[in-house]
Amino acid sequence: MNAGDFYKNIFKRKSFHIFKDTEKISNHELENLKEFINNNIKYLDKDIKVKIEIVPEEDTTCKRGAEYCILFYSENKNDYLRNIGYIGEQIDLYLCSQNIGALWFGIGKPKYNYDDNLEYVIMISIAKIPEGPENRFRKDMFKSKRKDLSEIWSGETLNIAEIVRFAPSACNSQPWYTENTGTELLIYRYKKPGKRGIMPINKVTYYNKIDTGIYLFFLETCLDYNKYDYERFLYHDNIEDNNTEREHNKI
């Protein structure tokens, strides 16, 4: 998939919190998914070891009516959570292009250990959504509930901020802020103290770091689609407080 393909599917994707009246994912579709994962995804940090497994939903604690769950394992080192978010959102948008519904399922766990050396991070549950007039992907993304643009972006929007803000996040917390200085985009992870929906208070930072990786992929997809030239500089996010993460995209 190229930037145009990813961009187009931003408008279509949605989180399927419950899967109903689904179809089977064919062997061909499953093999294509594995091919995409093995040969097409980009890493935010290629030096972090990652393993991705596709397993039946019954081999996990997920009970959302999915057929499979995609499990993410990673080496635990600086920015590994942000890296997983960046990788996983590519898969999320690819699945959307194949009419396969997806849900980032943070509270799920695998029943079996699929890697003794890497740490389990998160899963995405998936199921095939039938085509036709009742297709349940988004018809109008702009009806989705998101923060006002003024809450997450300052400076010129570059005609991308209006789209980037629809990136998914745990409990719709949208823990990001972008400042356009005129020469740089500074992206921060903003942690507001307290519990978020069903997230335990001690897991808010964990999931919001994954969310920021998701947001960065949305941002870069929009920059690429609109043919902006930029250079990325990543800064480690090792602090648990507000405004702890930034990425500089020179444009």
> How many CB atoms within 10 Å of residue 72?
24
Indicate whether 192 and 231 sit together in one domain: yes
Mean pLDDT, residues 116-132 taken together: 94
Residue 181's alpha-carbon distances to 75, 77, 136, 234, 251, in angstroms, are 34, 30, 39, 17, 10
Q: Which pLDDT does position 245 carry in this prediction?
A: 43
Indicate whether 104 and 159 sit together in one domain: no
Burial class (CB in 10 A: 0-12, 13-18, 19+), 9: buried
Sheet hosting strand 119-128, strand order edge to edge: 50-56, 68-74, 119-128, 100-105
Q: pLDDT > 90: what percent of the chain?
A: 78
**Considering the domain boundaries, does residue 32 fall inside one?**
yes
Indicate whether 96 and 158 sit together in one domain: no
> How many CB atoms within 10 Å of residue 56?
10
Indicate whether 26 and 78 sit together in one domain: yes
Residue 183 is part of which domain span? 145-250
Q: Convert the pLDDT of each residue in 125-155 to its tens digit.
A: 999 999 876 778 988 999 899 999 999 999 9
Identify the residue whose tokens are 């209006």.
Answer: 162
Q: Which of 76, 96, 128 is the last residue before a domain boundary?
A: 128
CATH of the domain at 124: 3.40.109.10
For residue 242, pLDDT beyond 70: no
Indicate whether 113 and 165 sit together in one domain: no
**Considering the domain boundaries, does residue 139 fall inside one?**
no
**What is the pTM (predicted TM-score) of this model?**
0.92
Q: Convert the pLDDT of each residue in 100-112 to its tens digit.
A: 999 999 999 999 9
**Considering the domain boundaries, does residue 88 fall inside one?**
yes
What's the domain count of the chain? 2
Q: Convert the pLDDT of each residue in 150-180 to its tens digit.
A: 999 999 999 999 999 999 999 889 999 999 9
3-state secondary structure the chain: CCHHHHHHHHCCCCECCCCCCCECCCHHHHHHHHHHHHHCCCCCCCCCCEEEEEEEHHHECCCCCCCEEEEEEECCCCCHHHHHHHHHHHHHHHHHHCCEEEEEECCCCECCCCCCCCEEEEEEEEEECCCCCCCCCCCCHHHCCCCCHHHHEECCCCCCHHHHCCCCCHHHCCCEEEEECCCEEEEEECCCCCCECCECHHHHHHHHHHHHHHHHHHHHHHHHHCCCCCEEEECCCCCCCCCCCCEEEEC
